[in-house]
Copies of this chain bind each other. A is one copy, B any other.
Amino acid sequence: MREGPDIARIASLVGDPARANMLTALMGGTALTASELALEAGVSLPTASSHLSKLMEGGLLTLASQGRHRYYGLAGPQVAGMIEAITGVAAAVGPQRVRPGPRDAAMRVARVCYDHLAGEQAVAMLDRLVARQVLLRDDKEIRLGPSAASHFAAIGIDVESKARRPVCRACLDWSVRRSHLAGTLGAAILDKILLEKWARRDKDSRAVIFSPMGKQSFERVFLA
């Protein structure tokens, strides 16, 4: 008999299909209302409400009340990382999907993971940044290299973080099975990509779709 952090409690929260769908939907990074989440999960409103209160009690969600709307969002990057890790295992062992539809292909290329970019593009970007020693990766940790500040300043990103949250963090990519960049820097890069309109978010999935021009710009800046 073991004691310690109650991992079964947390895992069982994710272990219900309705709740898992809700959490997956929230991986897009935007907070959603109870009705939207009920729709995503495919359950009635009372059922969704019950699930949401359980997720709240478990500390996996945050709640922002605005008027008569209640916006639920993931409690933080740590929770997002956990979902990503579980997704990775599920994808690896899962009953191989019938056939990857077009949306899935787009998801593999690039998608939003909470507040940063994930997918092949994101993994390639991190690889390149490490190869150029802008970032340094040892074991599981990622740190800024000596040239990082100037490098990112040149493209309009400030790597100084006032927040308590780490600037760099590795996040395991479920499609590529290798790490991509999370943390405030990862978030800032995604911001820039969307701000510059190099890519847009798909309306009803986590996919991030690059325009032909935007892809070139992204590759020039991050994959050169």
Complex-state Cα separation, A12 to B18, whole angstroms: 12
How far is it, in angstroms, between the C-alpha of A206 and the C-alpha of B5 when the chains are bound? Answer: 14
How many copies of this kind of chain does the complex include?
A: 2
A23 to nearest B CB, angstroms? 8
Cβ contacts A79-91/B at 8 Å (1 or 0 each)? 1011111111111
**Chain B residues whose C-beta falls within 8 Å of the C-beta of A94 in the assembled complex:** 5-6, 9-10, 59
Q: Which residue of B lies closest to A111 (CB)?
A: B1
Q: Does A13 contact B (CB under 8 A)?
A: yes
* Contact across chains for B92 and A59 when beta carbons are under 8 A apart: yes
Q: What residues on B are CB-neighbors of A15 within 8 Å?
A: 8-9, 11-15
Task: Give 9 CB contacts A-B under 8 Å.
Answer: A1-B206, A3-B104, A4-B24, A5-B94, A7-B20, A7-B87, A9-B94, A10-B89, A78-B89
Contact of A86 among B10, B88, B92 (CB under 8 A): B10
